[in-house]
Structure 1
Amino acid sequence: MIIDSLQNASKYFGLHPNFQKAFEYVNQTDIAGLEAGVIEISEGLKLIVIHGDGNSREESIKGFECHDKNIDIQISIQGPETFAWKPREKCISPNGDYSDERDVRFFHDKPDMFFELQEKQFAILYPEDVHAAMIGEGFIKKLVFKVKI
């Protein structure tokens, strides 16, 4: 997992070819004006724009998840937004089977920690990062880039 501010995004361009495309899209787009939905950016890179009221920690960790085929870049547009996190290697209680179609695996495990993103901050979540998001009070707007591994 990586947590940083958008002003430092270029430090991570070399980690995956689509990271640069994702962050350039953010810099070239009126992200505050984006409506909720899915946008196909390029081969192996799509954007999901999410907004809504935050949830309690208890409600959000019902969706404690990780992915096998994608890296998430989650960017706070309006928040703050709290995340739950635990390394996948420590998760021992699956919540159902892996969905290949949705590229998601859920767990019943409790998070090891919580962290908060402020506006214009991001988290890069790899397949080994089990996470739950949208924790907070009030309105949250975010971008989730799905970067194919």
Structure 2
Amino acid sequence: MIIDKLENSGQYVALHPGFKAAFDHLASIDLNALEVGKYEVDGVKYAVMAKDGVAPEVAAEKFECHNKNIDIQVLISGVESMGWKPRNDCSQPKGEYNAEKDVTFYADKPEMQFTLNAGEFVIFYPNDVHAPMIGDGFIKKLVVKVAI
């Protein structure tokens, strides 16, 4: 997992071939003007979400990780907390891996929580089980799916 400000994203482009295209695209658009929905531009797939945050217990019901994609989650507005735990420390899968949606859910509880402010991002690799959308107010975010 990596947490940083979007203005520092150039430091991470060498970590994966898809990161440069993703961060270049994010730098070329007005994030605040984006409408909720799913997009694909120049091979960069992303979704914009906007809704009220939830309690940590509610977010933990969708404690998830992915096998085929790395998430770059960018907070556009609001304050968002997220729960996290290493996948190797999770032992309670909720059902089987869903290949179509590239997701595995866990009944385990996050072992830590961190907070993002507008203009910050987190990169979740397949070994990062995460519970997003924790907060008291309105959260607008963008999630880029970078294929492994």
Give the TM bin, normalised by the shorter chain.
Answer: over 0.9
The answer on 1:71 being equivalent to 2:70 is yes
Match in the other structure for 1:40 = 40
Distance of 1:90 and 1:41 partners within structure 2: 36
Q: Can you list the C-alpha shifts for 1:69-122, whole angstroms capped at 9, x where unaligned?
A: 000000000021000000000000001110000000000001110000011000
Distance of 2:65 and 2:23 partners within structure 1: 22
Secondary structure in structure 1 of the residue aligned to 2:25: helix
**Identity fraction in percent:** 51
TM-score, normalization by structure 2: 0.98
Unpaired stretches in structure 2, ≥5 consecutive residues: none
- RMSD in angstroms over aligned alpha carbons? 0.8
Q: Can you list the C-alpha shifts for 1:19-62, whole angstroms capped at 9, x where unaligned?
A: 1111111111111011111101234x301101100011011110
Unpaired stretches in structure 1, ≥5 consecutive residues: none
Secondary structure in structure 1 of the residue aligned to 2:49: strand
Counterpart residue type for residue 41 of structure 1: V
Distance of 1:67 and 1:136 partners within structure 2: 23
Match in the other structure for 1:25 = 25
Runs of 4 or more consecutive aligned structure 1 residues displaced over 3 Å after TM superposition: none
Question: What is the aligned residue count?
Answer: 148
Distance of 2:106 and 2:32 partners within structure 1: 32
Residue pairs, 1:1-149, within 5 angstroms: 1-43=1-43, 45-149=44-148
Distance of 2:120 and 2:18 partners within structure 1: 18
TM-score, normalization by structure 1: 0.97
Counterpart residue type for residue 18 of structure 1: G
Secondary structure in structure 1 of the residue aligned to 2:75: strand
